[in-house]
Amino acid sequence: MTPDTNILYRDMLQRMLLIRAFEERVIELAHRRELAGLLHVGIGQEGVAVGVATALGDGDYLYGTHRSHGHFLARGTDPGRLMAELAGKESGLCRGRGGSMHIVDAARKLMTATGIVGGTIPLALGTALVARESGHVVAVYFGDGASNTGSFHECLNMASLWKLPVVLVCENNGYAEFTPMSAHTVVSHVSVHGKPYGIPADIIDGNDTLAVLNAARAAVARAREGGGPTIVECQTYRLRGHYVGDPASYRKADEVAEWRDKDPIRRFTGLLQQRGTITAHEIDALTAAARARVDDAVAFARESPQPTPQSVADHVYA
C-alpha cells in the first residue's frame, strides 16, 4: 500500500469514528432531553457514508435523507455547527430552523437532507442538469423504503432518459421504518429496478467500506464521463431503532447480533490492522480524538445562543 493510500484510509477511519461518536452522543443527549426533535442516527451505516463521500470531488453535490448526520460529517461538516443545529441554536448549520432531518451545508454542496422519504431524488436530478455543464456529478441517498415511491420510478426513467450524472446510493438497511423489506416489496434487491430503466446497478456489502468506496468511485467516474446514472445498492443495517426512542421490537435479537458482528468500523479497523496501516494503540487514540471532537461540538452547541423568538418568521422569503 502506498503512503497516500495509508493516509486516505486513516482519514476515512477518523471520519467513521467521528460519526459513531457523534451519533452515540446524540442518543445520550436526547435521553437526557438536552436535544429535542425526531432524531434518526446512522450507527452501523458509517461505511456507506464515508465510502461515498470519499469518492466525490469538492465540486460534486450530495443530497441526503432523514438519516444524514453521518452523510454530512463524512463530507467534512463541522460537528459543532451540526450539533448546534440539532440543539436548535442560532449558530447551527441552518440557524436552528432545519433541525436533524432538514440539514443543509451549502458551502460543502451538501444540498439538503429531507423528512420526506425519497424526496431528494428529484432534487438531485435537477441539480445534475446544472452540474453536468461543469463536469460535476450529484450523489443522492435513499433507502429501501423509498424504492416504493412513485417519484423514485419517475426519476429512474428521467435520469436514464437524459443520461444525467447522478449516483443513486441506496442505503438498504433492510427496513422501511418498522417494516422488513420482505413485507414491503416483491423485489429481492432495490437495484433490480435499474434494469427496466436501463440503469446499471451494483449490489455492495455496505459494511465493507472499501467496497463502497470502489463502487462509488466507478459510479462517479461513469457519471462524470457522460455515462449516466448508476444505482449503488449498499446492503447495511442500522444497529439502533428507526429513531432515537424506537425500541425496534420488530427485529429479532439474533438478527441484530449478527449485524453487530459485521459492524463496519470493526471490519475496517480489522482490515487496516491486518494491512499494517494502523496499530491497536493508534485506533484507541483515534477513537479518543473523535470523542474529544464531539465533546467540543457539544460544548459549542451548549454555549451557543438561542435564536430570538422575534426571528421566528425570518428567512421565509429573500
Partner 1 sequence: MTQMRYVDGLRRAIELEMERDQRVIVLGEDVGVGGPFGITVGLLERFGERRVINTPISEDSIMGLATGAALAGKRPIIEIMFVDFITLAMSQLVNHTAKLRFMSGGQLSVPLVIRVQQGAGGGWGAHHSQSLEAWFHHVPGLKVVAPSNAADALGLLRAAIRDDDPVLFIEHRGLHFRRDEVSDPDAIPALGTAKILRGGKDLTIITYSKAVWDALAAADELAARDLSAEVIDLRSLSPLDMDTVLGSVRRTSRALIVHEAVRQGGLGAEIAAHIQETAFDWLDAPMHRVGAPFAPVPASPVLEQAFVPDTRTIVAAVEQMLGLAPASSTEDPLERRRA
What cell was used for 50? 464515508
Positions touching partner 1 (CB under 8 A) are 61, 92-98, 102, 104-107, 111-112, 114-116, 119, 121-131, 133, 150-151, 154-155, 157-158, 161, 313-318
CB of 20 to partner 1, least distance (A): 26
Of 121 and 219, the one with the shorter C-beta distance to partner 1 is: 121
Smallest separation (angstroms) from partner 1 to the CB of 125: 5
CB of 130 to partner 1, least distance (A): 4
Q: What are phi and psi of 171, to 5 degrees?
A: -90, 90
Pairing of strands 179-180, 175-176: antiparallel
Cell numbers for 63: 443530497
Between residues 186 and 312, which has the closer beta carbon with respect to partner 1?
A: 312
**SS3 helix, strand, coil % of the chain, rounded to 5?**
50, 10, 40
CA end-to-end distance (rounded Å), the chain: 51
Whose Cβ is closer to partner 1: residue 96's or residue 264's? 96
Q: C-beta of 138: minimal distance to partner 1 in Å?
A: 8
Of 112 and 191, which has the nearer Cβ to partner 1?
A: 112
Burial classification of residue 318, based on how many CB atoms lie within 10 Å of its CB (0-12 exposed, 13-18 middle, 19 or more buried):
exposed
Distance CA 310, CA 23 (A): 32
Place of cell 455547527: 81
Paired residues of 141 in beta bridges: 169
* CA distance linking residue 215 with residue 205, whole number of Å: 10
Number of helices (H) and strands (E) in the chain: give both, helices first. Answer: 11, 7
Residue 25 vs 136, nearer CB to partner 1: 136
Q: Give residue 177's region: left, alpha or beta (phi > 0; psi -120 to 50).
A: left
Q: Closer to partner 1 by CB, 64 or 264: give it.
A: 64
Q: How far is the CB of 159 from partner 1 (least distance, A)?
A: 10
Q: Which is nearer to partner 1, 114 or 191 (CB)?
A: 114
Residue 133 CB, nearest approach to partner 1 (Å): 8
CA nearest neighbour of 184 among 196, 172, 199: 172
Give least dist CB 38 to partner 1, A: 14
